[in-house]
Amino acid sequence: MIGPSRPLPGPDELTAPFWAAALEGRLSLQRCTACGRFNHPPVPVCPGCGSLEFSWEDVSGRGAVHSRVIVHAAHTSGFESAVPYTGLAVELDEQPGLILLSNAGPESAAAQAGDRVRVAFERVADEVVLPQFELEADG
Ligand SMILES: [Zn+2]
């Protein structure tokens, strides 16, 4: 597991709805109300159509491994005791190219592109829950 001293996310105006939803066990993403595109991380201007109007919409939390990295060197303070750990880039089912990054448990070290994953919520502080991804049991 990642150590308790790792840095925590600092929600801002753009990302606050994402973190508030995670705290409630929901994966919610910014969605353009003009063209329907999901944007993650959230943006002030839709890269799809230039709109400034967005809503937040819960998504399935299901997707597939896009790529995987094994982190051997703790370049970020707070992760020293965690290395080596696995990072996954996950492409959600809702939209091609909709990528979320996740830490993943040791069982994910052999994950391959295309392996099925689902969201799992990890509480790392009283008011902070991280949406992470884990491999589905039967692929
Ligand atoms: Zn748009």
Per-residue pLDDT of the chain in tens (139 residues, 90 and over written 9): 455 577 888 899 999 999 999 999 999 999 999 999 999 999 999 999 999 999 999 999 999 999 999 988 888 888 888 888 899 999 999 999 999 999 887 788 889 999 999 999 999 999 999 999 999 986 4
**β-bridge partners, 133:** 119
Residue 66 CA to ligand 1 centre (angstroms):
24
Question: Which two tokens mark 90?
Answer: 């996950």
Residue 134 CA to ligand 1 centre (angstroms):
30
Instruction: Say how far apart CA 83 and CA 15 lie, in whole Å.
Output: 27
Residue 84 CA to ligand 1 centre (angstroms):
39
Residue 39 CA to ligand 1 centre (angstroms):
9
For the entire predicted model, the pTM comes to 0.89
Instruction: Say how far apart CA 34 and CA 49 lie, in whole Å.
Output: 8
Residue 38 CA to ligand 1 centre (angstroms):
8
Closest CA to 64 of 99, 36, 40, 31: 99
